[in-house]
Structure 1
């Protein structure tokens, strides 16, 4: 089964600034595209979308341009600042740098106050994405999923992708109240679900069965036509590895039809992110 990875982070500290990595010593080092492909290709990963790595704001354009020149990177989800009045100009610059290969944008919302995404300006700026066929990835904590609901309702013409299964707190709180909040955001037809980024919410001794109820609930809530898969590499290495996560994801959906597995691992990604 071939895989399109919709959530790869690459880290090049010699070229770009990542202020947040000072608080993440376990992954505060270079993570190159060559090292990624050495592990990814034997697992069936054939292509990857680079997901912005919350670089310093001054490096957003530089990150986007740089990663699009790396082997196997078929597109980028670029960082942005929709809360700023000059967002339209930033969008135009990203589109020019990307030359058709910027497939979406993301603003990490769990690292900023909740009221950053609340003003109408934020939603109005996101609505500009629709005319360019761009998506917006939502990166929220489980207790913030209502913020994603509000944005998706304000910008119904935009396709949103909820990163990391909505970040359930597997190791502490567990399934509830995440389960109901996930249902509520999945009920919006312009929101897709990304099966990614949950391994780091577990103890290192997790198994596929630890993850199964979360993955299955996401797929059940969104349906097989509205889910994509992502590695969240290298964050996945905090409590696992790219290999263990791929193997677990395959095991969890092993009893599903070939068609549904293809939708999760590459067909939906190609459609939703317009990779054809």
Structure 2
């Protein structure tokens, strides 16, 4: 099995500015030695390591960790896609054997339509030339723009992180369901079954998560849906914030028809998307 989304950081190093001290559950260093016992106990044999800082230093740090870790099979880094140095930076990163994708942190940018900026088109072209995919860290409000972007770039593999963070606590199913369905129509767009627990409230449990997970399964199918822990951010979840518990919960809720589909969602889809 593959964990398609996890993070490492060291507080105060490698331009690490998040998490902040108020997030006590995750305000400490997280390294491979912290994750490996959890993945071993859960039967996870590989992971996709994803950036958490808007920083070249953070991406370089992740690639160094990947060199030292057999668990990490792929790295998703960050590049300033508007920078005049974006193209050579992308070209250089792509030479690393575990570099597989880039993630602009769209959720925190001031313009919801940032992904449509003509200033990033040269960098996007270089990503495709270097066979790198795009992780889309977005909220529901960004999906309309992401769909336009995806239609412009039908050969660019895109995965929606955390299912676009639906407002589960605010019972925002309908608007989310419609917006993500429009993107699921595009065959190069995938989705991560991750990050949902941190969007729910303390009072919400399995029954509240079920319609979101079932909807994702029916939209993307096992061949375009991949499970991720979002560890250690998972530790912020008010319920079921244990690594193995989230894995078990996702398996129980998914209305899969066969063992093959389970293998895809919990392994093969991530391997195919990230090419390892």
Structure-2-length-normalised TM-score? 0.91
Q: How far 1:177 sits from its partner (Å)?
A: 0.5
**1:37 maps to which residue?**
36
User: Tell me, which stretches of 5 or more residues in structure 2 are unaligned?
Assistant: none
**2:271 maps to which residue?**
270
1: CA distance, partners of 2:223 / 2:33: 32
Task: Give the match's secondary structure for 1:20.
Answer: coil
User: Tell me, which stretches of 5 or more residues in structure 1 are unaligned?
Assistant: none
Q: How far 1:23 sits from its partner (Å)?
A: 6.3
**1:80 maps to which residue?**
79
- CA offsets per residue over residues 175-217 of structure 1, 9 Å max, x none? 0200100111111111111111111001235433221111111
**1:108 maps to which residue?**
105
CA contact (8 A) 2:213 2:254 kept: no
Q: How far 1:102 sits from its partner (Å)?
A: 0.4
2: CA distance, partners of 1:59 / 1:267: 28
CA contact (8 A) 1:162 1:192 kept: yes
2: CA distance, partners of 1:185 / 1:43: 32
**2:229 maps to which residue?**
231
Q: How far 1:49 sits from its partner (Å)?
A: 1.1
**1:21 maps to which residue?**
19
- Give the CA RMSD over aligned residues: 1.9
**2:216 maps to which residue?**
218
Q: How far 1:125 sits from its partner (Å)?
A: 1.8
Q: How far 1:14 sits from its partner (Å)?
A: 6.0
Q: How far 1:171 sits from its partner (Å)?
A: 0.2
Task: Give the match's secondary structure for 1:177.
Answer: helix
Count of residues in correspondence between the two structures? 271
2: CA distance, partners of 1:14 / 1:110: 22
Task: Give the match's secondary structure for 1:181.
Answer: helix
1: CA distance, partners of 2:82 / 2:4: 25
**2:134 maps to which residue?**
136
**Match runs of 1:59-70 below 5 Å:** 59-70=58-69
